[in-house]
Amino acid sequence: MIGFAECEFRIYNARSLKDKRSVVKRILTRTKQKYNVSIAEVGHQDIWQRAGIAIATVASARKRAERELEAAIEFLDSFPEWERIGATHFEWL
C-alpha cells in the first residue's frame, strides 16, 4: 500500500527565499530521519511565506501507512516556525 499526503504551510518570520529554504530544509530533514517517509517541497517554491509539502510512504497495509503519514504530519505541526493551512489531501494506491 502506498500512502500519499499533500499539505500547505505558512512560514512565519521568513523575510526571503533563503530564510524560507533554511526552515523547510531543516524540518524536512528531521522528518526523514524520524519517520519512514519520503518528503519534499512540491509547491509555492517561489513564494517566501508558503510551502507545499508532499509526503509518501509504503507499507504492507493501509492502516500502517495511514499511521505513519499521520505521525509525520503531527510532527510537522509541532514546529512553531510554520502553521498548516487549508486541507490535507490523502491518496492511497
Assigned CATH for 2-92: 3.30.70.1120
pLDDT for 60-69, tens place per residue?
999 999 999 9
Q: 81: pLDDT confidence band, cut at 50, 70 and 90?
A: very high
Sign of CA dihedral 70, 75, 33, 48: positive
Instruction: Report pLDDT for 6.
Output: 97
What angle (nearest 5°) sits at the alpha carbon of residue 25, between those of residues 24 and 28?
80
Instruction: Report pLDDT for 85.
Output: 95
Q: What is the mean pLDDT of residues 73-81?
A: 97
Confidence (pTM): 0.91
3-state DSSP assignment of residue 35: coil
Q: Where are the domains of the chain?
A: 2-92
